[in-house]
Amino acid sequence: MGCVCATHKLPHQETSPTFCGLVTDYNTPVPLQSISVDVAVRGFVADVASELRYKNEENNPVEAVFVFPLDGEAAVYAFECLSGGTWIEAQIQERKQADWAYDDALSQGWDAFRLERDTNASDVFMCNLGNLPPSGEATLKLRYVQALAPEPDGAIRFILPAVLNPRYVPPGSEDDIIEQVPRFPRGRLPYTLSLRATLESSCAINRVESNCTLEPLCYIAEDHTAAQVSLAEGHQFDRDVELLIYYEEVHKPSAVLEAGKPEAESGSLMGDPALLVTLYPSLKSAPKPSLSATGEFLFLLDRSGSMAWKTDRNKCYSPTRIQNAKETLILLLKSLPLGCFFNIYGFGRAWDSFYPQSVEYTQETMTESIRRVKKLQADLSGTVPLNALKAIYKQPCREGHPRQLFVFTDGEVRKPDQVIAEVRRHSSSHRCFSFGIGEGASTALVKGIARAAGGSAEFITDKERMQPKVLQSLKKALQPAVTRISLHWDLPPGLEAVLVGPGPQVIFEGQRSLIYAQIRGQNQSSGASEGSVVLQYVFQDQTFTETVTFPLQAEESDRSPVHRLAARGLLQHLEDAEKDDVEKQRLALQTSLSSGVLCAQTSYVGVNTELGQAVHGPIIQRLIPHAQHLYLREPFEVPAEEEKSTPRKKESPLLRLVSLQNADGSWDLDFNLASLLGLSEAKIVSKTPEQVAPNVWATVLAVLWLHSKAAEQRDEWELLEAKALNWLQATAGSQLADCVTTGNAVLGSSVSPQTLGL
């Protein structure tokens, strides 16, 4: 979940790069004893209850700050504390009022606790625990609900973030709480984690996988629609816990109707029943991306100093993030279709671009761009994408070339809501695909801009390859998507369904859409026990219709996860509005207070006055560490020098082959290609089939090499191969099958013509 750290400020270090975070004194008392987490997963929704147990073994009262990251779509909705044998439930209040109540309680010597969002990062939350008395024990219980997303293989992914990974810290940000967190070496954390997950689904649960050791999966329903699983005992919370849940019939649409809260006002979001409709269409029938498609492709790359960090700190020859990004940009450039337009932008505190405006994709512009990509460095300190985005949006869109924006960033951006709002203002003119690089990327920003402009978001850890996920997104950009989504309700007289927040506009391959609706009114038909919703959407110029039926007897739930997520979605929509939109800000505050879901304007605060006497004595500030990650601080002034000093790995054979491909998809027969194939140029020439042009022969050999030597990286070269085959079929025609047979003999491969679609 996170860590606890002291409230006092630590000096900001702007000198030579140092390890991020303080190395703690291992003899310092650590009040955090253990963390236990109970997760209830139903379909695509997880409801999480976390308990953190503390004990003050010192002679003075302690004040600490619990800091934890959450997914940008998570909704924190309840907070309480067990102290002195009494459960104290925190109340949600306007932020300034909560701050005053907490400070006043501390001055009176009472136990007090507070929970709020970090003002600098909307996906980071902070809990102040003040006046924990000597020998005192306290348990903090936090509840939140989260919408889960599918993985490419269809698994539903739940992640419990273990630590606050370091993020970019601009100069002058001494109060950044994340940078104050101390670190323990892995395996030496003084507290443990226990986690139990209860899984429910309308379809059978096939299996559960994890990056951590699990106890055997236990089914609690004969039809396998319910199961339990838990972490193996003694797990140290030194890494994220990931659960991959595999359902049968995962693409089947479903609906859940949840009863309103009895104490809430009828007609309000929390008082009326709330419906969750899940739409996760299977797009397996999608054709291969059209390489004749036109479009404008804009690539916006973070070039802040943290992009010079290595992707694996334990390996001397590990590439830096900027090197990884450069390889990815080369693959993207090689994969673009002829006839499109493109440009490459870089941002830090300043921004620049390769061209004043996007240019047509030709052999000349591709070659020049790749030359410039290879020279890129992490030399633009800061993480400020807003000005670059404004410059992009000032450029007029090209008629007949729909704009596709790809954003790469590894940092935490100040005031991400402003960036999201800027993207949303231009959402009608483009789609945005965003990529969070490394563990420190802001989930609020990366998901927010993708959602704002109808694209998709991907997160790439430092130990993952960036290229497959990015190329997958390019395939999405070149493929048709589900559009014109509409809902038609069949409800008894007296009932109506009202969408909460904006409805879905587009669904790309591999994405799911969660649709929330408020059911208003009274059922005036005594015989009607069911309602239904008809989902209609268009894919590849065909209209599809799916009907979902649900009982009108709403399910009772103490936690109300559907209502909380609906409120969170509405809050995200309202908070994306301009700050001077007073009405929307007022509605956001009202929604937060009525639903219990935290937003930027609210905090939870609780005070324990049941101890009988106030706590006295100077408060000791204790920093409770989490696992040490050897991330370097942002090298503000010397990113280029740092990168130059990093030993560079040898360019991979695949990237060498990719670099030799022409913009039209062909390869030239020359020494460089022959060397990569492990043959002499003379031998390749001598084996050329009769009446076959040298570039046709070279292209056939290159494609065969991809299949025989780089099959495991197919996701990275599939678009390149498609360009090559299109060119070959247009150029060589009937000679291709013979070329493949001869090429197999020359390379010692065994690729059949059918594999190439011939």
pLDDT digits (tens, 9 = 90+) for 591-611: 999 999 999 899 999 988 776
Other C-beta atoms closer than 10 Å to the C-beta of 314 total 7
Residue 641: pLDDT band with limits 50, 70, 90: very low
pLDDT digits (tens, 9 = 90+) for 481-526: 788 888 999 999 999 999 997 777 778 777 788 899 999 998 888 7
- Do residues 398 and 531 share a domain? no
pLDDT score of 664 = 93
List 561's β-bridge partners, or say none: none
**pLDDT > 90? residue 65:** no
- Do residues 570 and 437 share a domain? no
- Do residues 603 and 752 share a domain? no
Contact between residue 237 and residue 161 where contact means Cβ atoms under 8 Å apart:
no
Least confident of 274-288, 524-538, 610-624: 610-624
- Do residues 249 and 260 share a domain? no
pLDDT digits (tens, 9 = 90+) for 233-256: 877 777 778 899 999 988 888 899
- Is residue 640 in some structural domain? no
Strands 226-230 and 192-200: antiparallel
Other C-beta atoms closer than 10 Å to the C-beta of 411 total 28
Work out the percent of the chain whose per-residue pLDDT is above 90. 39
What is the Rg, in whole angstroms, of the alpha carbon atoms belonging to the chain? 28
- Do residues 97 and 198 share a domain? yes
- Do residues 489 and 410 share a domain? no
pLDDT digits (tens, 9 = 90+) for 654-669: 889 999 999 999 999 9
Contact between residue 647 and residue 316 where contact means Cβ atoms under 8 Å apart:
yes
Specify burial of residue 656 (Cβ count, 10 A radius: 0-12, 13-18, 19+): middle
Q: Which domain-ending residue is among 425, 451, 479?
A: 479
Q: How far is it, in rounded angstroms, from Cα 459 to Cα 147?
A: 16
- Is residue 626 in some structural domain? no
**pLDDT > 80? residue 682:** yes
Q: How far is it, in rounded angstroms, from Cα 330 to Cα 84?
A: 61
- Is residue 271 in some structural domain? yes
- Do residues 504 and 470 share a domain? no
Q: Which amino acid is at 455?
A: G
What's the distance, CA 55 to chain centroid? 35
Specify burial of residue 15 (Cβ count, 10 A radius: 0-12, 13-18, 19+): exposed
Alpha-helical segments (H) within 91-183 = 95-108
Strands 62-69 and 341-347: unpaired
- Is residue 613 in some structural domain? yes
Which has more pLDDT, 173 or 693? 693
Q: Which of 165, 157, 166 is nearest to 211 (CA)?
A: 157
Q: Residue with structure tokens 């990509």? A: 373
Instruction: Identify the DSSP state of 227.
Output: E
> What is the average pLDDT score of the chain?
83
Q: Phi/psi at 689 (nearest 5 deg)?
A: -60, 155
pLDDT score of 329 = 93
- Do residues 241 and 320 share a domain? no
Cα–Cα distances (Å) from 428 to 217, 397, 404, 431, 453, in that order, read 46, 11, 12, 8, 7
Q: What CATH number corresponds to the domain at position 424?
A: 3.40.50.410
- Do residues 368 and 454 share a domain? yes
Q: What CATH number corresponds to the domain at position 210?
A: 2.60.40
Q: Which of 441, 502, 429 is nearest to 469 (CA)?
A: 441
pLDDT digits (tens, 9 = 90+) for 443-492: 778 888 988 887 888 888 767 778 888 888 888 888 777 888 889 999 99
- Is residue 45 in some structural domain? yes
What's the distance, CA 125 to chain centroid? 17
Q: Residue with structure tokens 């029938």? A: 285
Instruction: Identify the DSSP state of 589.
Output: H
Q: How far is it, in rounded angstroms, from Cα 254 to Cα 89?
A: 34
pLDDT digits (tens, 9 = 90+) for 270-279: 999 999 999 8
Structure tokens at 689: 């089939």
Q: How far is it, in rounded angstroms, from Cα 628 to Cα 511?
A: 34
Cα–Cα distances (Å) from 610 to 111, 661, 716, in that order, read 9, 74, 62
Q: How far is it, in rounded angstroms, from Cα 674 to Cα 541?
A: 45
- Is residue 290 in some structural domain? no
pLDDT score of 644 = 47
Structure tokens at 263: 């104490």
Q: How far is it, in rounded angstroms, from Cα 140 to Cα 574?
A: 30
The whole domain housing 667 covers: 653-756
Q: Which amino acid is at 686?
A: S
**pLDDT > 60? residue 645:** no
Four-residue CA torsion sign, 365, 367, 370, 375: negative
Query: What is the average per-residue pLDDT within 128-142?
Result: 87
- Do residues 147 and 269 share a domain? no
Q: How far is it, in rounded angstroms, from Cα 106 to Cα 605?
A: 12
**pLDDT > 80? residue 20:** no
Q: Residue with structure tokens 């231009």? A: 426
- Is residue 535 in some structural domain? yes
pLDDT score of 307 = 87
Tally of structural domains, the chain: 4
Q: Which domain-ending residue is among 479, 506, 529?
A: 479
**pLDDT > 50? residue 3:** no
Query: What is the average per-residue pLDDT within 432-440?
Result: 85
- Do residues 317 and 460 share a domain? yes
- Do residues 246 and 133 share a domain? yes
pLDDT digits (tens, 9 = 90+) for 400-419: 788 899 999 987 676 777 88
Q: Which domain-ending residue is among 479, 511, 526?
A: 479
- Is residue 16 in some structural domain? no
